[in-house]
A and B are shown apart, each in its own frame.
Chain A
Amino acid sequence: MTPPVLRLDGVRKRFGDTEVLGGVDLTVAEHDVVALIGASGSGKSTLLRCVNLLERIDDGQIWLRDTDISDPRVHADRVRARIGTVFQQFNLFPHIRVIDNVTLASRRVLRIPRATAEATALELLDRVGLAGKAREYPDRLSGGQQQRVAIVRAIATNPELLLLDEITSALDPELVVEVLDLVRDLKNEGTTIVMATHEMAFARDVADRVVFLDGGVIVEEGPAAQLLREPREDRTRAFLARFLT
């Protein structure tokens, strides 16, 4: 049996005196889409940043396939190159063109020749309908287009895992759909995704599993339809109730 793409084992993280992650266990199998939900400050971003080695954990282990990436001896830059990440905003580099944003990691980290990297990038941009914007600078794009480019950039290196941190939270409502549609396409192609989100309808639609975080611990997790419709825990119910009103 192949190991899961991602496995968190008792992960703890504290900032000073406050424990932000209090022992998180989570397994994400290949082709799984996992939605992290929870109130603001519940630790979703911190969890994703720990997986991406942007934060150092205080206890526990994180496995990316069969690599223990919490081992200080691993090469952090190489691990990050195996994981694609999209943040809430400020993803794109404003001083270089869209195409250079998308090919940057391929060229500089994977050392793929520019011509090859650009061909791949143009193909990806074309698939999301943005090939025409390849030579533009990011500030000429709408927020939704920028986030779609950010997603394309994250998958351009063929990562094993895609982390999405509230990628639609900073967008105007009418731009949210085009970004979520792209995530749906990626799921259908079999991309393994962990995403923090406040879009409950989208989570129910696309996620295989939903994980509810509260105060840095997983209160409840389960199949998306079941957890969102009939949660077992009171805390989950209380959280979800705020979204239905």
Chain B
Amino acid sequence: MPASRETVSDVELGRRAYRRKQNARSVLISFVSTIVFAVIVWITIINTPGWNRVQRSFFDLETAIAAWPRVIAGLWINVQVLFFAVIGVLVLSVLLATIRTLRGPIWFPLRALAAAYTDLFRGLPLIIVLFLVGFGLPGLELFPRNSAQFWGTIALILTYSAYVSEVFRAGIEAVHPSQRLAARSLGLNHGQSMRIVVLPQAVRKVTPALMNDFVAMQKDVGLISVLGVVDAVRAAQIETAANFNFTPYVVAGLLFVLLALPMIRLTDWYTARLRAREQMGSLV
């Protein structure tokens, strides 16, 4: 786009010089204002009357180092749960969304079931699902596996699939109806049209929303600690109780943030890229 220097008019050169100067100015202003702001906040906090006490019980380096191995081991459990939960959610939610788009009377029971499912699990607080699934289902002795980690994962899948399936359904409905007609007119059957034409477009449309749900789930895996799983949160709780010091919670919290950051950044980047594409590179 920018032409070579020789062919550029003086007017354009003047404009570029001006813009460069403006840019440098903006960077300088934001830099200075950030520093001033941070210093003010810092001074205010350390001058509060209780700061010393708070610092000792929440930001104690020794306690942090002592708690580290256990909390990190717990976080590894969270990561495992997250991994299986994400796979489970993707499978179950695509299935639910697809069922809800089925037409024809045969499918009525399935459709109704899927609708009732999403209504129920979007309404139920996750913590209640965790208690019911984690303490109730093992009692049925249906499955040989009875670990709290396993049932915690199931509870997460059940709850999040209800949300994520609605996201997928919105995506499916946002694909222009002509696309379905075009697919069917080529002779593709309903299943093929969904799989080859509609779903791939729907997934692209809802990817930012899905990534957001993923971030939400990343921190909600910490809730499986209520079932007694020794994950990062539970480990922090144990350490806290042993030392009468809350620093392990801060450590666990920071670790969760670190875990989520890449995905948060990726979501922002992807959303910005989508917007840029739709805006076709215009200034406003």
Chain A interface residues toward B at CB < 8 A = 52, 54, 77-78, 80-81, 83, 85, 87, 89-96, 104-105, 108-109, 153, 157
Bound Cα distance from A52 to B178, whole angstroms: 14
Q: Which chain B residues (150-193) contact chain A, with CB distance < 8 Å?
A: 176, 178-179, 181-189, 192
Q: Nearest CB to that of A159 among chain B residues?
A: B187
| Known contacts A93-B197, A108-B196; A77/B189 CB under 8 A | yes
Q: Which chain A positions have C-beta within 8 A of B179?
A: 90, 93
Q: Is the interface of A mostly helix, strand, loop or mixed?
A: loop
Measured CA separation A91–B200 after assembly (Å): 16
Q: Is the CB of A90 within 8 A of B182?
A: yes
Question: How large, as a class, is the contact surface on chain B?
Answer: 10 to 19
Q: Check A54 against B185 for contact (C-beta < 8 Å).
A: yes
Q: For the complex, what is the distance from the CA of A77 to the CA of B181, rounded to whole Å?
A: 12
B184 to chain A, nearest CB (A): 6
Given contact pairs A78-B187, A105-B186, A94 touches B201 in the complex (Cβ within 8 A): yes
Known: A87-B178, A90-B176. A104 touches B196 (CB 8 A): yes
Asked whether any CB of chain A lies closer than 8 Å to the CB of B275, the reply is no
Can you name 12 A-B residue pairings with CB atoms under 8 Å? A54-B181, A81-B186, A87-B178, A87-B185, A90-B179, A90-B182, A93-B201, A94-B201, A95-B201, A104-B188, A153-B186, A157-B186
Shortest CB-to-CB span from B132 to chain A, Å, is 40
Secondary structure of the B side of the interface? Answer: helix
A81 B201 Cβ-Cβ under 8 A: no
Are the C-beta atoms of A91 and B187 separated by less than 8 Å? no
Residues in B lying within 8 Å of A, measured CB to CB:
176, 178-179, 181-189, 192, 196-197, 200-201, 204
Complex Cα spacing A221 to B48, Å: 92
The residue in B187, B189, B196, B201 that gathers the most chain A C-beta atoms within 10 A of its C-beta is: B187
Q: Which residues of A contact B186 (CB under 8 A)?
A: 80-81, 85, 104-105, 109, 153, 157
Q: Please state if B176 and A108 are interface contacts (CB–CB under 8 Å).
A: no
Tell me the bound Cα distance from A33 to B30 in angstroms: 69
Q: Shortest distance in angstroms between B154's beta carbon and chain A's nearest beta carbon? A: 33
